[in-house]
Chains A and B, each alone.
Chain A
């Protein structure tokens, strides 16, 4: 079912939790609401569910205004962050609860629950109580319970928040598969940008109650509309510079910044991948020392200290690292392939600038 939010604002007393938010989720989409905690994304989710009422604005589900439709009649499946399973009921009764409430026949309930137990790999656990289940099992029960009455929309609040890192990865893949199989319009909330990038068709980024950007993961990563998005999605080096003669400068680093007046203070941002390193000290313009290398699995993070003492972060694969023959303490030369001007008098970010002609770096990867 399609969902549309029009100029939604939510105030709790004096505090504005959500400010003038508009977006549309299409039928069958899997959308992630992303943002730091306190950003208002959970409030948005709860308003769609009907658990909170917008202070102003309208919510439409499949074109019908649902502001005055009670929670019970919205036909939405909601999975709570801590699952909110009924502790005094076993798995079967938990899943059957929504069906019983809707006065399904006994036989139909049993059949539906059995179907869900199988689909969610919970066979044999139907007599267990929530406290006898593992975290992953609890979550599957919570999702099965939400899906049992065949809702048109599935909402998940931080679905992977309460499980440990290893199961998390499996659950992400499982959620994508589940969405693919069921094709239910699904919205989930997360504060983990990696998770949002991996799972969603589209991402909606919130900060301080405002919608910052909505778009496909790649779009958000490559074309952030403002500094917040640019810094929140992915890692970024940020430098405070001052403009002199069309060039933003900090220590020895210089970034071409045409059109800015002398003395303007610019914030320059660039991804770690944009830092190109060479052991040939004469190849690239700036000199630096590799202070430390952090191993993050396949990727390595490098901490480079420029001659002036400024520290930059860079990333590369193990292969590149060994090809270049790097080690902690080695002196290198480097350059910054492309960068952005972050803080300007305009809210929108200017397009990315390139130091000189170079083939653009690839961004598809996760960070």
Chain B
């Protein structure tokens, strides 16, 4: 790194050393630790062994003759023949039989069946569970943990990680996160271009104010943004009242309720707005008016000039701004959770799911999701660099 070629200035080693040290401590080591931890979790042994249940008779008692709702639900999860077999197992084989059945249950299809199906299966009790304790998407596993909390040590492996990455609740969260981010970034690309154009090209009363205001989403804490947007679009909010509709029980239902993704998109548009505008503004300012004039002199109409001459020149910057807004939207947390109802499968974004898993001590599941988001952001970062290089193609002399 000490290839200090062209400068006689002092201090390279000191500043470079400090830069690398600080960068490593604050950024590189934590990111590396996350990846390493996920890797280690994957390498850990997985299945339950009889040793995992230290108080076995009590466990057996609880599962096979369930006294509480959670245990009953776990019991209901076993296929009928397994249930029959388990009930008939004689005392000495019970530990082996139960661990085998639980492992089957965890690895089995029933466990990872789509949520809607398991909702039906688990009926009203499970519904209650989902509404009041929307903890982990790994609903069945959570049931197990609830039922035998003291008995089960957490174990996971690559398959578990993979399953928790592609669990239905996680898939629904990705869908919402990526879909809403894409939509928000698109809205920002269009309106950000419009705003940048208007700010650069026209003089009108309040232009300076508008220009300063564009940075507002950068400066405003996301929690405040979420809070105010939520109240703005609530059923009695300034904007929400025009969008609310009567629900079945006769009360007005806010748009964030009947269109679960709406609030998410609104929050993400707010958060991403400055990216496109601020990326585009300097490009538009430096855009040679002569090029447009040349087009007009050659007889092109204004729309033709915009489509064929201006837009292609702006496209790389619009794309860069789009990608930046998109990347920001993917990771956004604070503003969204206020506006969204955060219902599993319906209006829950991926970062929120990470928090949910973390709060239910599903570290492996949280880390698995985090790694997915990280890899995606790094991909976007590479994409943005590629766009910028591509954009530089036409500019280099």
Contact = CB atoms under 8 A, between A and B. Distances in A.
B395 interface: yes
B282 interface: no
Contacts of A97: 295, 298, 300, 308
Nearest to A46: B293
Nearest to B311: A88
Nearest to A88: B312
A33 B293 CA distance: 21
Given A82-B288, A87-B313, A97-B300, A131 B396 contact: yes
B293 A78 contact: yes
A87 B283 CA distance: 14
Contact of A80 (B290, B308, B313): B290
Contacts of B393: 131
Interface stretch (A69-77, A169-177, A289-297, A302-310): A69-77
14 contacts: A71-B296, A73-B299, A78-B294, A82-B288, A82-B290, A84-B288, A84-B290, A84-B293, A88-B313, A97-B300, A101-B300, A101-B301, A129-B394, A130-B394
A32 B394 CA distance: 33
A131 B397 contact: yes
B259 interface: no
B304 A146 contact: no
B36 interface: no
B224 interface: no
Contacts of A49: 297
A103 B301 CA distance: 12
A215 interface: no
A36 interface: no
B298 A149 contact: yes
A72 B300 contact: yes
B309 interface: yes
B291 interface: yes
A77 B293 CA distance: 11
B307 to A, nearest CB: 12
Nearest to B291: A84
A85 B294 CA distance: 8
Interface residues of A, number: 28
Contacts of A228: none
Contacts of A327: none
A254 to B, nearest CB: 54
Contacts of A88: 309, 312-313, 394
A73 B305 CA distance: 15
Nearest to B305: A101
Given A84-B291, A98-B300, 18 more contacts: A71-B293, A72-B296, A72-B297, A73-B299, A81-B290, A82-B290, A84-B290, A84-B293, A86-B295, A87-B313, A97-B295, A97-B298, A97-B300, A98-B299, A101-B299, A101-B300, A102-B299, A131-B396
Interface string B371-397: 000000000000000000000011111
B312 A80 contact: no
A97 B300 CA distance: 8
A51 interface: yes
A101 B304 contact: yes
A86 B314 CA distance: 12
A233 to B, nearest CB: 29
A78 B299 CA distance: 11
A49 B296 CA distance: 10
Interface in B267-323: 288, 290-291, 293-301, 304, 308-309, 312-313
Given A72-B299, A72-B301, A78-B297, A86 B291 contact: yes
B291 A51 contact: no
B74 to A, nearest CB: 63
Interface in A48-95: 49, 51, 71-74, 76-78, 80-82, 84-88
Residue from A78, A84, A149 with most neighbouring chain B CB atoms (10 Å): A84
Contacts of B293: 51, 71, 78, 80, 84
A267 B301 CA distance: 55
A197 B161 CA distance: 81
B298 A98 contact: yes
A145 interface: yes
Nearest to B300: A101
Contact of A87 (B295, B296, B298, B395): B395
Contact of B297 (A71, A81, A85, A86): A71
B367 to A, nearest CB: 45
A63 to B, nearest CB: 22
Nearest to A97: B298
B299 A86 contact: no
A81 B300 CA distance: 20
A131 B394 contact: yes
Contacts of B297: 49, 51, 71-72, 74, 76-78, 146
Closest 9 CB pairs of A and B: A98-B298, A84-B290, A88-B312, A80-B290, A84-B294, A87-B394, A78-B297, A84-B291, A101-B300
A149 B397 contact: no
